[in-house]
Structure 1
Amino acid sequence: ATLAKKYSDDKSSAKMGGDFGWLTAKLPSGFYAFENAMYTLKKGEVSELLRTPLGWHIIKVMDKRHARGKIKVAHILKRTDKANPTIAKKEIDRIYAELANGADFADLAAKNSDDDKTAKKGGELAPFGIKVYEGSFEEASFALATNGDYSRPIKTKIGYHIIKRIEKIGLEDYPQFEAKSLASLKKDSRYETQKERVVEEIKLNARYKLNKNTFDNFVKKQTPEIYTYKWKVTNITDDVLFTYGGKKEYMLSDFTTYLRSNTRMRLRYDKKDPIAESVEKMLNEYVKETTLKYEQSNLEKRHPEYKSLMREYEEGILLFEASKQEVWDKASKDTLGLYLYYEENKTDYMWLPRADVAKYTVETESAKKAKDVYKCAKKKNDKKLLNKFNKKDTILTSEIVKIERASKAQSGMEWIEGARSEFSYDEKNGLATFKKILKIYQPTIKTLEESRGFVIADYQDQLEKEWVKRLNTKYDVKLNKDVVNQLKK
């Protein structure tokens, strides 16, 4: 604390011995080293030197706690008048007393709060987390235990507040947090840091080696023109620039082609920077790109499980394409073959016993009249029933549908012509509904159009069996029983 007060350039925290308050991830881009240290260090431990866009830091972890999430509160504010600071305190105490006697918080905020932006909204603030408001305000807000609780008057730099908790917003579920954070993380410096770490690991495993003489000779021939779009490659010997594993070679001409096709990258560099330093950075970018490509091309060699996965994927695509040509497309496009298959097997596609069913709806406020309709439906056919009860007003409607025996639609009715479902009347809405079996049909063969989906599926099964049979005839399949037995274990 003494050293922070004496040497820190952060004047706001230096006054408090370097105390920066509570922090939580994620910190702004460029502060990954700072963030990583504050989570890695234990309570009381001091970091080594850390570099951020602001400069160099040494941090000490004073304490740790669980993340607080966010909270939504309302507040009543009485601003302090420097000329007479006691007035605000008296006013806030008066308002607190009214609250204690049962007054409505929102009404008091509207009438008394000096926060013009929130007063008309009952004092409500937008949800906030840590380090948004002054520490005393934040602590008092998060200390409220349940929704509806309010604090005693608390003091901040601008005046006195009474705070009411509206809602505690917990931490997001990890999948939600991950989905929301991925896009921003890819734009953050930590993404590049991790990428560079991966690249260095790949280079080490791939035995990356730079031909320094070739590179140095190339750099010596460069002029400030390399920072412009006019730059051209002249007077170079096309030697090997770097290698991977002593086998994969990248020539100097590969690098110069990269530089020519990335003019915008070259233009970004400051002409005042030393040419050797800038070209080395350009080389690093090129090496990073080629390293990742080299790793991709060698994934199957370095990772057997990936090789197996890719083989499974490739074979799956081949099987899909072969099945598509030999079975699926043929079944849907071979109309003659489909028709012949249906004709040979059409007794497999039978309708179950079916019936025409009338679904009646009666709209009337008279339960007795609705009951009369239901009784008459026992003897009268559909047409006569509609004519009888729709002479003045249309109170009865019907819809004829086909149902299968033992289906859910038959529920509550015997399987005989004239059978009715139970009567149901909704007194509140003046509606009665019931069903009646008009005519029963015996099982019949479905037409090809009525059974097309089932016929195609069965035709595909037959085509697949015939295809597999042809393959077995053409290729001699031998089973390695030892391997099979190993799989059983």
Structure 2
Amino acid sequence: MIRFFLVLNLLVGSVNFTIAQSIDSENLMTIGGETISVKEFLRVYNKNIDLVQDESQKNIDYYLNLYTNYKLKLKEARTLGFDKKDSYKKEFESYKNQLSKAYTTDKEVTETLVKEAYNRTTSEVKAHHILVRIQPGQDTLAAYEKIKALRSRMVKEDFTSLRTALHDGKSVFVEDLGYFSAFKMVYDFENAAFNTPLGQTSKPFRTQFGYHVVKVLDKRPSKGKVQVAHIMIANNQKDSTLVPENRIKEIFRSIQEGDSFESLAKQFSDDKSSAAKGGVMNPFKSGDIRSEIFVNTAFGLKEIGAISEPIQSQFGWHILKLISKTPVEPYEQIKVDLEQKVKRDARSKVIRQKMLEKLKQQYTISQPSLESVVAKIQKNDADDTWEVEASMEPQVFLKIESQELSYRDFLDLLNKNKRSFKASTGKSKFISNQYALFLGNNLFQYKKNNLINENEDYANVLKEYEEGLLLFDIMENKIWKGAQLDSIGLKSYYNENTSKFKSNSKITATIARSNKKKKLKAVKKMWSQGFSTDAISQKLNERDQALIFSSGDFEIDSPLIPKNMVFNKGISEIYSLDDNYVLLNISNIETPQILSFEDAKGAVISKYQSVLESKWLETLRNKYPIVINEKILSDLKKSIKTE
């Protein structure tokens, strides 16, 4: 799925047009004999244009050139047989099956399940549970009897004692699940948890993991989401002299002195994913982060902008700043997201059954008499297969509209699932169950195969899948891998363009930072007099912790260094940085150096790929003649009106 979206980033978005009906069906151009209509061109343009930030690139001529390059690559991919490869066919069918699910669901049932999920999103359940795992081939009755006995103990006994006595992490799990809401557990488990009254223990129930019982300890309205910024000093530090607790306290004092939280986060936080954003994290719910103290502290902040005392989690030391608190969004606002989640979990089985009932009404079906089928099909115990008389195998067994399925098709399913047959259940029951599966599978398959004729939106999206996969494959084959494997070409390109591949300038320095300029004046004086950084810190931080020192190698675009700084060895001037001041003591300056081929290889490959692509497109333009209907293009430009 990932590589598909890498390509189709060029094919999403929307814009509204008023298009003269007279040219909608006209041919705009041909590429290598392939005709492209105005309608087809605009469909793709419509999906791409909103992503274009530069207004000049929304020009029809500019986009037509991009589109032509796109179609040339696809033309070459088909000429070379990329669409005939087994790997392509397999992946395309996988996408097709996934896409068709959106067009083969019962919307009414889906909405009912979505509303149920929403109601469970607005509340949280706290629970303990016991799980007795069931391994393949294991006696399920024994597991069921065991969970029944453990339920009795769960009702009566202390949870901690019970966990100590029973939990082995293999066959029996006794766990405190904390608070959770919809979609955090498998659907059957979720149903048991939300339907069990407060303080009660559920009856045993089964999921794919085994048999469970769940005890509901609390039910409460959801707290919604909270968003915080944080500064984290990790528990484990490369610098053995840096004590995380001391550093976080220094930073906290700086905040109290008026320093910018965002600036401190950018400079000192070890959570690099949020540091660049001033420490701002993505919004989260109660069960999203595995640190109770972090979650409780975040939700415990009352006012926007409030800052917590330093806390320690299993990850390190943190200071939190409240950015926002958001209650659970209104139903209409998150309906689409919930619908996608519903279709991905076990709720989809309910949707499938309802859709199956509709398909039985939509299509003409000629079904066999099950009584007759049971009589005709026999089990060959000698080789453990199901069979009919040889003359019957090609005969029509089931007909859906014009599609015919033979007895052989049904026997294939029976023999595929023969292990599920149990003599104790009986032949009739087994064949009846398998026929229901056979009918359902083929009804859905018929629907999927005909969607391209029944639904234009589906046909268009499917085409985008197809073209996206082809484009990725040929680009990977002709450009991306080609550039990486062309060692001679890469070396030659590097040698001809060495000036393009330089290292960043670096300095070795100690940086003093404070929100008080007079502090840095004192530092400058003491550095000039030969005092060590440790001595200065001890002296000037005696009354307050307004000074923070950082030592090491820094690239000149580091957030710790002012943008307008002039670099010279020795003690610098005092510069403003965000809402603070900085002073540098520079011991070494490393100017940009030409990178070796090995060090620059990633950048060389990237630039060389662009060169190869340009040359390749030039070849394709010569190979596949491009003819543009200039009159239609002119009419098209006049008819487009963006809103």
- Using the size of structure 2 for normalisation, the TM-score is 0.38
User: Rg: which structure is higher?
Assistant: 1
- Using the size of structure 1 for normalisation, the TM-score is 0.48
Which structure has more relative contact order (CA 8 Å, sep 6+)? It is 2
